[in-house]
Structure 1
Amino acid sequence: MDITIKDVAMKAKVSIATVSRVLNQSKPVSQAIKQRVLEVVEELEYNPNPVARSLIMKESKLIGLLIPAIENTYISIFVGAIEEELFKNNYTTLLCNTKRDLDIELHYLKLLKEKYVDGVVLLTSSPKPQQIEFFENHAVPVIFASHTDTEGRFASINIDEFQAAYDATKFLLESGHRKIAFFGGPLAYYQIVQRLEGYKQALKEYGIEYDDKLFYEQDYDIESGYRSGMKLFNNDELPTAIFCVSDMVAIGAIRAAEDSGLRVPEDISVMGFDDIPIAGAYRPALTTVRQPVYELGVQAAQMLLRQIQDKENYVKEARIVPHEIIERGSCRKVTNNTQGGKL
């Protein structure tokens, strides 16, 4: 038989409201009564229903975290950071892996609402209309991570995608490269559009016309980088550098270069994006754009907690955190007589 709060109150000879005050620490009670109630709770092994508690307290201490793919190293670091920060503040994270499927994502959002979550962190590069509609119709605090909401509808945290891609491309241009391929992700993602625009702007400032044949639209994983690399290296005229949308794509590109008889960086330079832990351990170690992934997770959690604690006065900011170019061994400087060509 399940023990109820009524059983605790009867055994302790106090009211149900008093038991609730003791358990939730909502109002002060005398030390003697508090001690008596807690002893009965322990004796009866009473475990309050968390959903019922959330209805009473109007909080569940649960946070929904929606991610597109747990196997992505960038995402796993982000998840670890946000879970750690939330746990320090007595919140439990409900992790939802959507596999980039909108139907799965909407299912999870509805489920999280039914669980009375206190807030949601949505890791997405491009919010979809259905997501926006959900949060406009339901007063659930939310942070969009890895996205910049320039319209001010929701709080968001991200790097400057345009500037990061511009800086990465400029780094290669300043190293003497004039023909640079871009291994990007799906253009349906706002994130990719911004990085492509940054890449184009850097080329333009160096008087280089954008060539859409050097843009490869794939995904963020190793297999995508490998596929793009094998297609690129099958051409007669090759670039001297590749700018990749992620470190995983860069690793795939390096493997494709090796399988095509090319050396990195001697024959072709490869630049990554993210600076995940393997970036520095891989050989050659990746030159890359460092996103402060862990800090992104920590700050996303802190922003959400502030929003939960002060819903009425919270200012929905679009926070931008700094990126950094990390120079390692996968890129080299070139001279005019080493430009392009089948090697």
Structure 2
Amino acid sequence: MIRMKEIAKLAGVSISTVSNVLNGRKNVGQATRERVLQICLEHGYDPKTLTNKAKSVKSNTVVFVFSDFDRDFYLKIIEGISVCLTENAYDLIICTNKSAANFMHGSFASGAIVLDASLTDDYLVSVAKPDFPVVLMDRIIKSEQAETKSVIVDNYPAMCEMVQGLVDRGFKRFGFIGGLDFTLDNQERFAGFSDTLAKNKIDFDRKNYFHGNYREKSGYQAAKIMMLSNDLPEVLVCANDNMAIGAIKAFEENKIRVPEDISVTGFDDSEAAAMMGLTTISIPRYESGYLAAKELLAMMKGTAGKEPFKLSATVKWRRTVK
């Protein structure tokens, strides 16, 4: 088990400060107290003591759990969460799925906001209790036992609008790079894509569906595979910006011009997408974070409804579509 000396080093404080925190003395600032407790929890130091001490910060602490890749995507979301919580005198602790189990319980925090597909529905149902409500930003869980509410992007109509715009521009041969199949985002985005093509009587060959995982490298690899067929689609629709950017890099390496030879679209409207001039769908990330925090606070007070809160998204037409 980690020693007090090592905790002090990790926290950047003296051993006496760690001792004061663990003994509940009030001569330590709140931020330092929480930092020390967080490190102790991460390293399994004296769980019984920590459970008691953590209760002192429970009443004003919220946990945000996110995936440990593409951290730039989360900055605006975190900003929105932080602003709302600060306005209501709550503190925010941010962690990835690797350490989530240390913080996802009512003895440490008052609730959590989750945007991480790697945490299973079963796990979230097991931790979402009346004394520890959970707001989900990437899925909807229908369970009477779980104290959850969803604040999610309304992917389907936004994707329908963008694909209809592509059809109206004369595109007929489409490709699609999807994200993780089990995620709600990918399911809704592909449904909007395929339904709009069907509505316009445009056939979509499943051989032009390529699997990715939302990371840039997967988009790059999908485009490399696509190019082997020597039969590129006219337009490639990607389930997020990272994969679209990866695909564009692969095309450029092989002297395939965007948008002259192939048009490309994304979804998210990241800063990198704006810099590249990527046609995409803009998600109100700051607002989604703020609303997620607001809904969580309402759940803590018992005033929140159970129906999902869906945020609208808008199409951004840029230079990657001719």
1:116 is matched with which residue: 108, 127, 137?
108
Cα distance, 1:165 vs structure 2: 2.1
Shift of 1:228: 0.8
The unaligned stretches of length 5 or more in structure 1 are 9-40, 99-103, 333-343
Letter in 2 for 1:235: S
Q: Deviations over 1:145-199 (max 9, x none)?
A: 1334567862111121222222222221111111111111121222212211111
Counterpart for residue 324 of structure 1: 314
1:23-73 Cα offsets, whole Å, 9 max, x none, are xxxxxxxxxxxxxxxxxx8xxx477977757747x9431111111125342
Q: Aligned to 2:265, which of 257, 268, 271?
A: 271
Is 2:310 aligned against 1:315? no
Residue 274 of structure 1: SS of its match in structure 2?
coil
Q: Are 2:164 and 1:170 aligned?
A: yes
Q: Give the counterpart letter for 1:249 in structure 2.
A: M
2:121 alignment partner in structure 1: 129
**Stretches of structure 2 lacking an aligned partner (at least 5 in a row):** 1-15, 35-50
Q: How does 1:144-163 map to 2 (within 5 A)?
A: 144-149=136-141, 154-163=148-157
Task: Give the CA RMSD over aligned residues.
Answer: 2.9
Which residue number corresponds to residue 248 of structure 1?
242
Deviations 1:274-310 (A, max 9, x none): 111222212xx011111111111111111111221x2
**Which one of the candidate residues 213, 238, 251 is aligned to 1:219?**
213
**TM-aligned CA deviation for residue 137 of structure 1:** 5.5
Instruction: Go from structure 1 to structure 2 and tell me whether the alpha carbon gap of 1:180 and 1:126 turns closer, same or farther (over 3 Å shift).
Output: farther
What amino acid is the match of 2:171? H
- SS of structure 1 residue aligned to 2:177: strand
Which residue in 1 is equivalent to 2:294?
302
| Alpha-carbon shift at residue 116 of structure 1 (Å) | 2.4
Aligned-residue identity in percent: 24
**1: distance between equivalents of 2:289 and 2:299?**
15
Structure 2 residue identity aligned to 1:223:
K
> CA 1:151/1:325 → structure 2, altered by over 3 Å: closer, same or farther?
farther
Name the count of aligned residue pairs: 284
Residue matched to 1:281: 275
Question: 1:324 & 1:207 partners in 2: Cα distance?
Answer: 25
Partner of 1:90: 89
Q: Is the 8 A contact 1:126 1:190 kept in 2?
A: no
Larger Cα-atom Rg: 1
In structure 1, what residue type is equivalent to 2:288? L
Give the AA of the match of 1:62: T
The answer to whether residue 201 in structure 2 is matched with residue 207 in structure 1 is yes
